[in-house]
Amino acid sequence: SSNGHIGILGSGLIGRSWAMIFASAGYKVIIYDIVAEQVTSALEDIKKQLLTCAKDGTIRGKLPAEQQVSLIEGTHVLEKVVENAVFLQECIPERLDLKHELYRNVDVIINKQTILSSSTSTFLPSVLSKDLTCKSQFIVSHPVNPPYYVPLVEVVPAPWTDSKVLETTLSLMKTIGQSPVKLNREVPGFALNRIQYAIINECFNLVEDGVVNVEDIDKVMTDGLGMRYAFLGPLETAHLNAEGFKNYCSRYSESMFNVCKTFKPIPKITGPTADNIAEQLEKITPIDKLPDKRIWRDLSLMKLSQLKKNN
Ligand code: NAD
């Protein structure tokens, strides 16, 4: 309904980003947290961030910053955030006991029309929602950090999620300027982390075998594959690297298979190789410089997102 609001459950890093994204599209947003001071500091932080974005020209949406700020309010009363919400995005810590407890409390007050969506990075929607009366209204919308600049959202239904809930969530994500992908069914790690883990595993094995050092492995991505992947996925890259994907397969599938046969088994990311990687990484970015490096990362991603928008 046009009178309903978006409810954000948990006002930490991810909850704040979701609030800013929904407000940028003109939605009224209520953010909720069990820690009352968290709500206050979230509202202050959001205001500061939006004003800075406006000054830098990186603010999303067409509304002036002040108006976006005024669309967001806070509460520590669960009823207030749940009642009349069209969509609830849960962003509390990645702990099953905490999420289950919150959902139990939401379950008894939620409307039939409200979608309950989780930002979880690791829990399957079936595991999160199996005991809920409202389980057909439950879905996972997994964002990528920082969501304000990285638009991907993995939308993952449980086996019992209503197909209308799936379609509404996908179209809502598009409306607010995110880039949703639909998983037809739940799998551990969803799609992003399965691919990310395959990459980390191979990087780990190459360091373990002494083939390439950490700095150079990361360069393979940042100055090689990553440059393409910001614009073209691996499958379309293949399509373009030959006369279409069929031609790519006939040219390369055999040699690709032969390379892959030399892959080592899945490594446990621990032990002396993990220590060696950590040591090399700490020389590149010392632990006390990580906050600075994160600011640089977010700034770089912001510039990339501008470039992609104009592309
Ligand atoms: P966070 O620790 O920054 O914030 C969590 C917030 O939830 C805190 O403000 C805390 O006070 C509040 N909270 C705790 N229990 C609560 C409850 N019962 N009810 C209401 N609020 C409660 O965490 P985050 O990094 O924002 O992560 C939130 C979720 O998003 C997690 O499920 C995480 O897996 C997922 N996620 C995180 C990232 C990331 O990079 N941080 C990326 C994608 C998805």
Average pLDDT of the residues in 96-122: 98
Tell me what percent of the residues of the chain surpass a pLDDT of 90: 96
Reported as a single tens digit per residue, the pLDDT across 55-105 is 988 999 999 999 999 999 999 999 999 999 999 999 999 999 999 999 999
Average pLDDT of the residues in 258-279: 98
Q: How far is the CA of 152 from the centre of ligand 1 (A)?
A: 18
Phi first, then psi: give them for residue 113, nearest 5 degrees: -90, -10
CA–CA dist 44, 39 (Å, integer): 9
Q: Is the pLDDT of residue 3 over 80?
A: no
CA–CA dist 90, 87 (Å, integer): 10
Q: How far is CA 292 from CA 54, 120, 182, 194, 286, in A?
A: 22, 26, 34, 28, 10
Which residues, other chains included, contact 135 with Cβ-Cβ below 8 Å and sequence gap of 6+?
A: 129, 158, 160, 161
Q: Is the pLDDT of residue 131 over 60?
A: yes
Q: Is the pLDDT of residue 2 over 80?
A: no
CA–CA dist 201, 204 (Å, integer): 5
Q: What is the structure's pLDDT at 1?
A: 42
Reported as a single tens digit per residue, the pLDDT across 27-39 is 999 999 999 999 9
Task: Name the residue of 40, 43, 76, 92 to mutate for ligand 1: max ligand atoms within 8 A of Cβ.
Answer: 92
Reported as a single tens digit per residue, the pLDDT across 216-237 is 999 999 999 999 999 999 999 9
- Residue 75 burial by Cβ neighbours in a 10 Å radius (0-12, 13-18, 19+): middle
Spell out which residues line ligand 1, taking CB within 6 angstroms. 9-15, 32-35, 38, 91-94, 98, 102, 119-121, 142-143, 145
Q: Is the pLDDT of residue 247 over 50?
A: yes
Average pLDDT of the residues in 294-311: 91
**Lookup result for tokens 């939620």:** 110
Q: How far is the CA of 9 from the centre of ligand 1 (A)?
A: 9
Reported as a single tens digit per residue, the pLDDT across 139-185 is 999 999 999 999 999 999 999 999 999 999 999 999 999 999 999 99
Which residues, other chains included, contact 153 with Cβ-Cβ below 8 Å and sequence gap of 6+?
A: 141, 142, 143, 144, 147, 173, 178, 179, 180, 181
Q: What is the structure's pLDDT at 199?
A: 98
Q: Is the pLDDT of residue 5 over 70?
A: yes
Task: Name the residue of 9, 13, 109, 123 to mutate for ligand 1: max ligand atoms within 8 A of Cβ.
Answer: 13
Tell me what percent of the residues of the chain surpass a pLDDT of 70: 99
Q: How far is the CA of 83 from the centre of ligand 1 (A)?
A: 21
Q: What is the structure's pLDDT at 26?
A: 98
Atom of ligand 1 at shortest range from CA of 121:
34
Q: Is the pLDDT of residue 40 over 60?
A: yes
Rounded to 10°, the helix 36-56/13-24 angle is 50
Mean pLDDT of the chain: 97
Average pLDDT of the residues in 184-213: 98
Q: What is the structure's pLDDT at 309?
A: 85
